[in-house]
Amino acid sequence: MKDEVAVVSGGSGGIGRAVASRLAAEGAKVCISYLHNEDKAQELVGRLRSDGTRAIAVRADIGREADVAAMFRTVDRELGRVTALVNNAGVLGGEWRIDEIMPEKLAELWATNITGYFLCCREAVQRMSIKAGGKGGAIVNVSSMAGMRGGGEGRVAYGASKGAINAFTLGLGRELAPQNIRVNAVLPGYVDTEFHDAYGGKEKLQRAAQSAPMKRPGRPEEVAEAVLWLLSPKSSFVTCALLTVSGGA
């Protein structure tokens, strides 16, 4: 991954932070996006730079077209033509039963979890593709086991959004193969990140993880290793894959 230019959305914490750190360790130039956690984003970038990595943090709401386009222009200017994209930013969007769902809440969830992935892919492909003068590249969408299992009670909308990303990954991989762009997804199960803190915290996470054969939550670094492999030349014949990283759940 040396000298590759990577964009990691939602890179200030959790899985995104672990991915950005691994990419930097492999010699990539890294842009992380954030929306709310500026202090954490700048702290990470400062650490990566102190280790010799060219790294930047850009505030962007990935559900907004103008924000995404501006972020990629910043990457062009500061780091160069993007060759790797990790779509990681996402929201749980609250817990609602179907008889409680409001269209405006669905729209907010779709904007980040679906539209944002499409917009980031559009901007990346406009730079990666052979027809645009690029050399190709790799895209990894961070999905979820909820996209295969439905999300559970109160999280049907979240599961549906991740199911959409699974379908998007399969279709886009076929579309972009002639452009030397591979598209894959990782589907984490229960992973110990702050993503779950607002919905019961670590105790609830630990209980839920008992349903997996490995009887524990995953670590962000374990998911990051899977992402790195899918971005790297070691997976050069892998596209349209949905890789579960779930402890067997």
CB-based contact 28:22 (threshold 8 Å)? no
Catalytic-labelled residue, pool 34, 117, 158, 190:
158
CB-based contact 247:236 (threshold 8 Å)? no
Q: Rounded CA gap, 199 and 189, in Å? A: 15
Q: In the structure encoding, which two tokens stand for residue 207, read together?
A: 């209980």
Q: Rounded CA gap, 213 and 10, in Å? A: 29
Q: Rounded CA gap, 205 and 209, in Å? A: 6
Task: Say whether 158 is catalytic.
Answer: yes
Smallest CA-to-CA distance from 8 within 44, 39, 47 is with 44
User: How far is the CA of 232 from the CAs of 217, 225, 238, in angstroms?
Assistant: 25, 10, 10
Positions annotated as catalytic residues are: 158
